[in-house]
Amino acid sequence: MHRKSDSDVTSVEASSPARPLYYVQSPSNHEPDKMSYGSSPFGSPGHQYHCSPIHHSRESSTSRFSASLKTTARNAGYWKKLQRSGELVEEDEDEEYDEEDEREKKEIKRFYVVCFVLSFVVLFSVFSLILWAASTSYPPEVYVKRLVFEKLNVQSGMDESGVATDMLTLNSTIKILYRNTGTFFGVDVKVAPVRLSYYQRNLATGPEVKFHQNRKTQRTVITSIESHQLPLYGGVPGLISRNGRIDSISVPLNLTIGIRSRAYVLGKLVKPKFYRTIRCQVTIHGSKLGKPVNLTNACVHHN
């Protein structure tokens, strides 16, 4: 058989077109050093070759795996979002329930407070009414003991406008016994007005007297009733002295005494009041000046 010479081989290799490289992978071994290269004049791996299909398969599988991981992560995130939204909804519902419970508790507390206040007001009102009714059964006792005319003088004179008339000067003293019959309260007392009058004409007045009287106690009140240079204008003819002597004077007068008592049973909340007006008939005698006039049975009490 005719053997080709080296020059022939060279010429054939130079003239023949370059064939593409290919490799075969063993099914049982994936190592790169076990790969067999295609026919090459030199069998050298130094020549250039394309990327292997296995590399593409690995990239595709990796991409599919990463895509599946991304999908799984996306699904997990979605479920987490759903779970979080569900938890938020549950939290909102729990908050709504808690708010409703708190609102109901507040309404119940408000109801109890209102009931307590109303009950307290009703009970306190009833208690105050009972105390007031009990205190009204203990009115004060007032006794006008005596009246003393100490000085009486009627003389001619002139009033402030220069009109000539008789002028009256009168000094007298009255003694009053006041008794507080209350067993559980004290009273503030005011004695006023105190006056002597001839029908509707006032002849003498007394000052206002105030004091406090403790429970189950009594006191004697002595006050003056007087007038000084009071013009009469002829309104009291009985006071005109005969022959300049006052011994012959005898004039019936009215003595009026007003007494107001205020009890403090429960501080300033329960304050029963007692009013007493005393009217006495008394006659002034010029011949009995300085002598006490007994008025124990000569007075009428009006509440």
CATH of the domain at 226: 2.60.40
Residue 78 lies in a domain: no
Residue 260 lies in a domain: yes
Average pLDDT of 101-108?
A: 85
Closest CA to 257 of 140, 141, 148, 142: 142
Residue 155 lies in a domain: yes
Residue 257 lies in a domain: yes
pLDDT at residue 187 in the model: 94
Decide: 220 and 177 in contact? Cβ < 8 Å: yes
Domain count, the chain: 1
Q: Which two tokens stand for residue 113?
A: 């407070």
Residue 279 lies in a domain: yes
Average pLDDT of 165-193?
A: 93
Decide: 191 and 176 in contact? Cβ < 8 Å: yes
Q: Is the pLDDT of residue 239 over 60?
A: yes
Average pLDDT of 189-214?
A: 93
Query: Which amino acid makes up residue 269?
Result: L
Give 78's contacts (C-beta < 8 A, 6+ positions apart): none
**pLDDT tens readout for residues 140-158:** 999 999 999 999 988 888 8
- Model confidence at 178, pLDDT cuts 50, 70, 90, reads very high
- pTM value surpassing 0.75: no
Query: Which CA distances in Å does 30 have to 25, 48, 52, 55, 266?
Result: 7, 20, 12, 11, 111
Residue 72 lies in a domain: no
Residue 176 lies in a domain: yes
Q: Give the domain range for residue 200.
A: 139-302
pLDDT at residue 171 in the model: 95
pLDDT at residue 196 in the model: 95
Query: Which CA distances in Å does 214 have to 57, 140, 183, 219?
Result: 117, 11, 9, 10
Residue 264 lies in a domain: yes
pLDDT at residue 66 in the model: 57
CA distance linking residue 147 with residue 196, whole number of Å: 11
